[in-house]
Structure 1
Amino acid sequence: MERNLILVEEYCTNCSVETSFIDSLEELGLIEVIEMERQRFIDDAFVPDLEKFTAWHYDLDISPAGIDTIHQLLQRMESMQHEIDDLKRRLRFFD
């Protein structure tokens, strides 16, 4: 599968995002930055999450640590919703 990479500096310029914000997200493990030939890239698979994190940070003034916490909680909620859906399907089987 082919990777589409976006230059970090280009993304930051186009979206009015500070590179330090990208660095913070990378340090927290929320996105992955790939370094090749002295340039840093973001896999386009991370762009939807990155856009969401950017909005939370710049529009809602949420810190990167807060973004990490919210992201983890949303992942847990999604996992629990899948589990609830699975349990409902199993319960219907016995009705």
Structure 2
Amino acid sequence: METDLIIVREYCQKSHVDPLFIVSLEEDGLIDIQVVDGERYLLGSQLQDLERFVRWHEDLSVNTEGIGVIHELMGRMHEMQQELKQLRREVRLLRTNYLEEIL
């Protein structure tokens, strides 16, 4: 399985992101950095989260602790939305079965 790796140094240069911000995200467990031959790499699969974190930090002045909290809460909200969808499907199924029984 091939994994896309992004060189952190190059990402920071092209995106005008402070490398220390990336380090703080890693220290807070929000992203994982791999070191290969002394070069730091970010998994391509984390790029979407990283860009979201950068926007929150730059546009909203949210620090890394706040980013962690927001990320956790959004994850919980997504789980609750999925649970709600499943419950709605189950209610529809029960309602359909009930209506079939009484008719």
Instruction: Specify if TM > 0.5.
Output: yes
Root-mean-square deviation over aligned CA pairs: 0.6
**TM-score of the aligned structures, taking structure 1 as reference length:** 0.97
Task: Provide the rounded CA distance (Å) in 1 between the counterparts of 2:16 and 2:59.
Answer: 12
Task: Provide the rounded CA distance (Å) in 1 between the counterparts of 2:94 and 2:6.
Answer: 50
Larger Rg: 2
Is 1:78 matched up with 2:89? no
Task: Provide the rounded CA distance (Å) in 1 between the counterparts of 2:47 and 2:7.
Answer: 12
What percent of counterpart residues are identical?
A: 42
Is 1:30 matched up with 2:30? yes
**TM-score of the aligned structures, taking structure 2 as reference length:** 0.90
Partner letter of residue 8 of structure 1?
V
C-alpha offsets along residues 7-59 of structure 1, whole Å, 9 cap, x if unaligned? 11000000011111001111111111000101100011111110010010011
Is there any run of 5+ residues in structure 1 with no aligned partner, and where? none
Match of 2:98 in 1: none
Is 1:93 matched up with 2:99? no
